[in-house]
Structure 1
Amino acid sequence: VNMNRDTSGFIGAASEISSTGQSAISGAGGSTTTTVSNGNGASNSSRTSVKSDSKHRLWDNLIINIKELLAETDKEVIVSRYGTSQVESQDKESDKAGTNTKEESSRTSSEGRDKARAEYKTLFASTVIANPETGVISVRATNKQHEKVQEFIDRVMGSAKKQVLIEATIVEVKLSDSYQAGIDWSKLNDNSSNSGFVFGQTLGSKGVNFNKTTGAFSSGGKNALGETTAAGFVAGYLNPVSAIGNIAASITLLEQFGNTKVLSSPKIMVLNNQTAILKVVDNLVYFTVQSQISQSLTGGAGTNLQSVTTTANTVPVGVVMSVTPQINDTSNVNLDVRPTISRVLGFVNDPNPLLAQAGTVSSIPQIQVREMESVLNVASGNIAVLGGLMQDEIRNNTDAVPGLSKVPGVGNVFKGKNNANQKTELVIFLRPTVIPNASLESDELQSFKQYLPAQQLEKTLEEANQ
């Protein structure tokens, strides 16, 4: 595709008054900066920010790489040119002298030919002509160079055409009283069927792991998921019985910790090293009100003139997720994922005295944002779990009988209070699947064939005939 894509993102948090955390779309790569400033109690701030940039220049990089490849395989071609003018002049001079013998004349003639042979070294100039609009590349090179270029283009296009199917499910778990500290992930490990959530910690190149089933450390170059990998923490969910219901089984297991609610369950397919953005939001509209009062003198008497200006503003509330996958040689997927979940907690009135004097109320929405950004390495078909986003929701409701509830001594009899404390945890499941062939006949996408309208109609007709 003749398209250049630039993705940049910024996420930050500040604990300073009159400073806000900012966020945007995430890309590949990142840097973290933390600044702490203290001075005489007048300034106390702490900020953390991550800025990510991703640039996709397929055609530009492809042309540059082909030129560099040809420059390494260019060869010097020697072109020899034989001249006769110098040889002929030397022969005429020997005849006029008449003193040279036949052997001397032959030797002189041979030396003249050697001197007359002029060698020119010319560099074979390879040329690359590309037309990104039509997807055509023309290369002028030798046969051996053409083989190298064809091999390189096949490798690049084979990797660029790979796709990744990303299935994400965002679940909110209202924790019960027994699990107020959060989800106990160790209870989700099913030892009998060799499935469930698996955790592994690899330390160093030898792959020392903690086996959750046996409670012991083991080595052998493989982590708890049975994969050969470098040092790091690995978490996944294995369910060999089901090919597509892994996430659904995971949600069912979470119900033992409290009531579960699926906030969003998107599925999106994206090319290798491309950024995909999923946005399911409601644009909440609110108005900011500005009131100005001015005085004018008319006939010696002052008159107050009030002007009110309203400005419409929108804020997105919902789910926004950006994902950038990168497929390596072992079909593992490196994911740069950025989920953002926002919702309205309430409204706060603008305390401007002029608005209160004019009897105008300007309500500003209070938005709760739960967001994380991480870079993961997940095997194709396995599930990565992102959790730990917990929050406390405190509700203090008071119902009272007007008038009687304010009577001293007996007012509490006519008043009812309902105080509730609810703790919730947000869990995000991600399942990347490498799709070498984007066809419903492939093993990876065959399970989605049943959702086609033609398949649904055929199924309905079969049920009607039975």
Structure 2
Amino acid sequence: MTMIQTKPRGACRALRLSALACALSAATALSPRTALAGPIPWKAGHFQYVADHKDLKEVLRDLGASENIVTWISPQVDGTVTGRFDESPQRFLERMSDSFGFIWYYDGSVLRVSGPNEAKSATIGLQHASAEDLRRAFKRLGIADPRFPVLYDDDTGTAIVSGPPRMVELATDVAHLIDRSVERADEPEIRTFPLHYAWATDRTLTINGQSVAVPGVATVLRSMYPNSTIGSVSGQQAPRADAYKMRSLDPSGGAYRPSGNTNSMPTLPGLFGGDASERRTAQNPPLPASYSPGGGAPAPGLPSDAQTAEGAPAGSTARAVDPVIQPDPRNNAILIRARADAMPAFEKLIASLDRKPGVVEIDASIIEISETGLKELGIDWRLHSSHFDLETGNGQAAQAGFPGSVNPQGFNNPNDTTTAGMLATPQGAVLTAVIGGAGRYLLSRISALEQKDNARITASPKVATLDNIEAVMDNKQTFYVPVQGYQSGDLYSVSAGVSLRVLPSIIDGQPTPQIRLDVHIEDGQLTNQQVGQLPVVSNSTIDTQALIDEGQSLLIAGYSVDQDDSSTSGVPGLSKIPIIGGLFKFKHHQGQKFQRLFLLTPRIVSAAPPQPSQGTL
């Protein structure tokens, strides 16, 4: 049988119980006492104790000593205990608290017992952190106790803490630390991010003959962070510099937002006295009585750059620190002024943009084949695949062998008895297995035609370029035409020739990567026709795209080029005599028609490193 007797010393215990009840009922409604935020780590499951008119402080000290728990007892805790107890330590502590009215709180290391008159209440106002931040911190640290619930107001960033002195003290200290840490996080810092492969500033490239502005990393970052301040080298100002900032016209505190066009407009000069640039806040007339801020659908708000702190939630800074992004052209780096907690996101995003590009080598061959050569090429065909070789001919031209084939020297012609040491093309067709490449075989046949002056390789440029960067190969003739003006003259250039522009893009694939080619070809020449005293330029243009495997070639053909050369020479004076002057003249005319072929062979010199797995930036 368990019995407890309490003997208060005078009427003070009744007064203390009354004060405790008044303090707790005024501050908060008590939750069930068995619910604990951080339970006391009791060692024993049962606590047996016998007291005979023993002081309450001594009883509580014995409880803490038996469980090896440090106990602090306020001098205001008073009472006498008599009885025999056999129950759990937690139940014994709650029984003593119910009987004598003291309040206890375990902060993780010390069990603190306070008198009923020592209960405290504090109102915590947050300037930088939010009430949700404080709520999460209390939960993680185990400060909150369901017996003494904390009241939060998210709109004003306020928390009311009532309970034991130690709990209120811890809650206040933690709130100050959190608010200060958020304030430090809001304080801007400046960091430099050097770039290794990408460009910090915008660049102008010529693509397909047109000037194209390629945005740099700074411009890309500004587009990802629309509230960032434009810190370009040209000194442009942010758009929000001329935006209206409208004060609240709603007595309840809500900010009025017009329903019309929300584009920013400059203030009228001298409307409110003084320079308009010094008065960015526009005073507005009172709203009509029929206006109800809470009724109906909300009106569209002002642009984010024009909102003021009145429209921001309390407890947080309005537009805390907008990032300032500035390129450094001299060092090819990015300067960022932003909050400290935003820097890791910037660093990760910049690292994903500053990736090592791949390098592609483009081997181009510009080939001209005459009509007779083309006819001969049309007779002597040799078709290669991975499993067979088919060759036809008229038995006159030499065979075009391929070093990588199973029969690199070609076939013997049984009908040819005169050319013992030369392998000629067969009369008819011969089939065998061979492994070869179409691009190399085509070049070997053209070399044979070039020896007969029927074909020629006019140019074989080779250039290396970065992935997704256009390579330009020009072979043009330019002359300048003087043009006289009213007060000055100028020279205008006229160009004709071959211009080859190739934009390669590496596409990762299995088992081998592929290369996408964006090809633009311009082929022009001066004609004998004239307009005034200027020759007419004939231009041909080819635009195409292709996706080929590495090691393959792209052959572009299909249009012819006419060459017509004529010249006249003669004896001065005699060649101009009528009738007999023709005896002293020499006229030369040479005309030829060529088929022009373009053979492009891209090769990956170095591929870009694999893209890392993307996470949340």
Max Rg structure:
2
- Is the shorter-chain TM-score for this pair beyond 0.5, marking a shared fold? no
Query: Structure 1-normalised TM-score?
Result: 0.43
Query: Structure 2-normalised TM-score?
Result: 0.34
Which structure has the highest strand share of the two? 1
RCO (CA 8 Å, sep 6+): is it higher in 1 or 2? 1
